[in-house]
Amino acid sequence: MARPLRICFPGASYHVYSRGNRKEKIFFSDRDRFRFIEILNEICLRHNFILYGFCLMSNHFHLYLRTLLANLPTGIHDLNAGFANWLKAKYKIIGHIFQGRFGSVLVDDATYAAFLSAYLHLNPVRAGICNAPEDYRWSSYLDTIGRRKGFVPNLDPSFVLNFFSEDQKKAVVLYEKYVRKFDRNKRIAEHITNGIALGDEEFVRKVRAEIEIKGNRREIPARFRNDQRRLSFEDISNAIRSVMGALSGIESPDVQNDQFEIKANFISIGNSNDTTSTSNFRREKKTIDRDLTIYLARKYCPLTLSEIGKPFALDYGTVAQIVRRVEKNIRREPLLKSILLRVEEILGVRSVNLIQI
């Protein structure tokens, strides 16, 4: 039997799933699940994955993620192998842990982000484990609705929420409503074409065209961007300088006061009554420019964390910490979010469809 086609390209989103051998358990305790999440976080850092959602069941798992590089097979192989080796050593298991190759389906985020997220989070409800997704600890639902933070550091719940509203509080309310009304009997297989893509007709047409171009190759490294441009450090730096320069370069008294407010809100030091000099603000602004450049490079450039950190003489761990810090500040500071939206607008990379419920 031929192996299923695997389409890989920078910026691709996937529904990834893997089941225990002979449908046997792969998680025997909460410690096993914690260890899986630890390894998953390591894999996201090492392979430049962005995690949008997950659900761990007793004998299988689901992931919703984006690959900034065309490296899905390598990353998930490392995930499964790392966890399987740990599990076998702990329980003295002989033989395979997972049943064959992992499954993956290419996802059209614009059409199916909310659908896939709800489907994943309702897995334990469909299985009769709980009555509501918020009662289940081992999925990303609690993270998505803001009831838990830091459980999975490399999770980005804001991605799905942004399809509902740019206001995160409003988005959470709309998302919870969407999940409650979601048909729990829906089968995801009904929305997948040829076992390859979860997307609308236009998305599937593009996938088919790519398959025809590449022929019968089983792994396809393709530049198949959906709604994003390929960005460079220079693109990002120029856009940030443009926005930050507009905020800090005008000498009028009103704008001068705004500068101090920007400093207090933007980098979370001082307060609105701070009388620090403009030169101090500009010195702090240099750090802001660096952090925003790193954050946006992580989000939009097909680079590893080490490659992103190299121009700043930072290792990959420090880069990961900066990215997480900026993500937290985005949620806390509306001003920071508005600045990032303006930078993304200049770069031409922001493309969010709002779901009406």
Cβ neighbors of 124 (< 8 A, separation 6 or more) are 55, 57, 130, 133, 136, 138, 139
In sequence order, the 6+-apart residues with CB closer than 8 A to the CB of 231 are: 296, 297, 300, 301, 347, 349
Give residue 194's pLDDT band: very low, low, confident or very high (50, 70, 90): low
Q: How far is CA 9 from the centre of its chain?
A: 16
Q: Is residue 331 one of the residues assigned to a domain?
A: yes
Q: Are residues 275 and 154 in the same domain?
A: no
CATH number at residue 10: 3.30.70.1290
Q: State the pLDDT at residue 227.
A: 38
Dist. CA 193–CA 204, nearest whole Å: 7
Residue 180 banded pLDDT, cuts 50, 70, 90: very high
Q: Are residues 258 and 149 in the same domain?
A: no
The number of folded domains in the chain is: 2
> Is residue 226 assigned to a domain?
no
For residue 82, what pLDDT band results from cuts at 50, 70 and 90? very high
Q: What is the pLDDT of residue 1?
A: 47
On the question of pLDDT at 171 being above 90, the answer is: yes
Residue 86: per-residue pLDDT: 96
Measured distance CA(164)–CA(66) in Å, rounded: 19
Torsion of CA 202, 62, 157, 351, to 10 degrees: -10
> Are 205 and 60 part of one and the same domain?
yes
Last residue of a domain, one of 199, 221, 243: 221
Least confident of 178-187, 201-210, 219-228, 315-324: 219-228
Q: Answer whether residue 338 shows pLDDT above 90.
A: no
121 phi-psi bin (left φ>0, alpha ψ -120 to 50, beta other) = alpha
- Last residue within a domain, chosen from 169, 200, 221: 221
Least confident of 16-20, 311-315, 335-339: 335-339
- The contacts of residue 353 (CB under 8 Å, 6+ apart) are 110, 163
Q: How sure is the predictor about 184, in pLDDT bands with cuts at 50, 70 and 90?
A: confident
- The string of DSSP codes covering 259-297 is HHHHHHHHSS-S-TT----HHHHHHHHHHHHHHHHHHHH
- Residue 1 located in a structural domain: no
CA separation for the pair 158, 295 (Å, rounded) = 15
For residue 212, report the phi and psi dihedrals to the nearest 5 degrees.
-65, -35
Confirm if 90 and 173 have CB atoms less than 8 A apart.
no
Compute the distance between CA of residue 121 and CA of residue 132 in angstroms, rounded to an integer: 9
CATH number of the structural domain spanning residue 340: 1.10.1750
| 167 plus 28 within the same structural domain | yes
Residues 153 and 275 both lie in one domain: no
Q: Give alpha helix (H) positions in 20-61.
A: 30-47
Whole-angstrom distance, CA of residue 122 vs CA of residue 204: 26
What is the tens place of the pLDDT at every residue in 213-251?
Answer: 554 444 444 333 333 456 788 889 888 888 887 776 533
Contact 177, 167 (CB under 8 A): no
In percent, the amount of the chain with pLDDT more than 90 equals: 40
Kindly indicate the confidence band of residue 127, based on its pLDDT and cuts at 50, 70 and 90: very high
**Of 97, 94, 110, nearest in space to 39 by CA:** 97
pLDDT at 280 over 50: no
Kindly state whether residues 289 and 194 are assigned to the same domain.
Answer: no
Q: Which pLDDT belongs to residue 212?
A: 61
For residue 176, give its domain range: 6-221
Share of the chain above pLDDT 70, in %: 78
* Across 192-197, average pLDDT: 78
Of 109, 54, 57, 108, the closest CA to residue 76 belongs to 54
Mean pLDDT score, 48-52: 91
- Of 7-11, 277-281, 323-327, the range with the lowest mean pLDDT is 277-281
Answering whether pTM is above 0.75, one says no
Say if residue 50 is in the same domain as residue 108. Answer: yes
One domain, residues 209 and 306 = no
